[in-house]
Amino acid sequence: MKVDGYTTYVLRVPFPGGAIPRASVTPLLAIELVVVELTTTDGATGMGYTATIGVGGAAIKAVLDEPALRDLVLAEDPRDHERIWNAFYWRTMFVGRNGISLMALSALDIALWDLKARACGQPLWRLLGGFSREVKGYGSGGYLSLSTDDLVAEMAEYVAAGFRAVKMKIGNPDPRRDIERVRAVRAAIGDDVELYVDANQVYDVKTAIEVARRLADENVAWLEEPIPAGDWQGHAAIRRAIPMKLATGETLYTAEPFRDFIAREAVDVVQADVSRVGGVTEWLKVAALARSWNLPMAPHFVLDVHLPLVAATSNGLCVEVIFPWISPIVGQRVQPVGGVYKLADTPGFGLSISDDVKREYRMD
């Protein structure tokens, strides 16, 4: 089996109603999906993608299109994902190790695993271990750009749809505003729904601890990315000082930085994002590392790619249900019932991007 087709493209999908959601440190301009499609000499196919918040999609595609990188895949056996991963990583190492080049590698690696599972005629969740075919989702959003009324309505809508946990943004310049908004959400969703808050790296260590202690009265179950993402020392200090769990990992690339966060007790909930960390090949290494410390995986975003990974993994906790209008764009057929996804037997990830979607959103 040899790869004989390698196609890349970018879908740029605006937010519904032309909205520009704002997190603490940046607005989100659009969702870009940078897609890799592979075919082989014996007719197998695979598709993978990474996602941006509206900047960088063309640059990620440009990395994937470099002949010296494309040639690491073309005419190779796609089942050799570990060899291809390492060849790509070392060839891009001096210009990357995170960000654009790792996101390119992630999209490619996801396509390789999709192809491998399809060629085996197996759904990926089963090929990788089949721990469970049911995955819990939590409803996520609650951007700072929403009025308090709209925030409460969004969180209540998730609960009405059956989700038993929700997540909202914090990180307003005045923390008192965050406290008020968290109180309003808690009052609306009741005491039985778990509530998570995400600061998107905006605080320093002392502010994070102060805000977390004040939010403890509202029974917040996890605080996410309170300070700049690479600072494991700061995360460890915060984790020791706050009553709720500390979640982080969406902005860490490759398994290497997870070693420090996990071994130095700087994280409770590991959020490695398969579309950034280096694809399925590297995500599984993070999951194994987390498992050895009895920590759960609750991966960030790209719901439809994460579903089979969380299902396959014994320490998979849940998926993040955010921007759920992306699911039909990538051809997801599985719908949550009572906040739980029951995975299908479709081979691979069970995803596909239609010609209609390409016509509507393709950038080039």
- Which listed residue (37, 109, 198, 231) binds Mg ion by CB under 5 A? 198
Determine whether 300 is an active site residue.
yes
> Quick one: 171 or 336, whose CB is closer to Mg ion?
171
> Quick one: 136 or 300, whose CB is closer to Mg ion?
300
- Spatial distance between the Cα atoms of 153 and 1, rounded to a whole number of angstroms: 51
With contacts defined by CB under 5 A, name the span among 75-83, 88-96, 192-200, 285-293 that binds Mg ion. 192-200
Catalytic-role residue among 61, 245, 300, 306: 300
> Quick one: 224 or 304, whose CB is closer to Mg ion?
224
Mark 95-134 with x for binding to Mg ion (rule: CB under 5 A) and - for no binding. Answer: ----------------------------------------
With contacts defined by CB under 5 A, name the span among 3-11, 48-56, 132-140, 198-206 that binds Mg ion. 198-206
> Quick one: 117 or 247, whose CB is closer to Mg ion?
247
Rounded alpha-carbon distances, angstroms, from residue 171 to 49, 179, 293: 30, 10, 30
- Spatial distance between the Cα atoms of 305 and 147, rounded to a whole number of angstroms: 31
Per the CB < 8 A criterion, the answer to whether 194 and 221 are in contact is yes
> Quick one: 142 or 308, whose CB is closer to Mg ion?
142
Written as one letter, the residue type at 349 is: F
Footprint of Mg ion on 211-230 (CB under 5 A): 224
Please state the closest distance from residue 301 (CB atom) to Mg ion, in A: 8
With contacts defined by CB under 5 A, name the span among 1-9, 25-33, 195-203, 254-262 that binds Mg ion. 195-203
The residue nearest Mg ion at its CB is: 198
The contacts of residue 256 (CB under 8 Å, 6+ apart) are none
Please tell me the count of residues contacting Mg ion according to CB under 5 A: 2
> Quick one: 50 or 92, whose CB is closer to Mg ion?
50
Determine whether 169 is an active site residue.
yes
Please state the closest distance from residue 300 (CB atom) to Mg ion, in A: 6
For position 282 contacting Mg ion by CB under 5 A, the verdict is no
Torsion of CA 230, 231, 233, 237, to 10 degrees: -120
Catalytic-role residue among 169, 235, 245, 306: 169
List active site positions.
169, 300
Residues that bind Mg ion (CB under 5 A): 198, 224
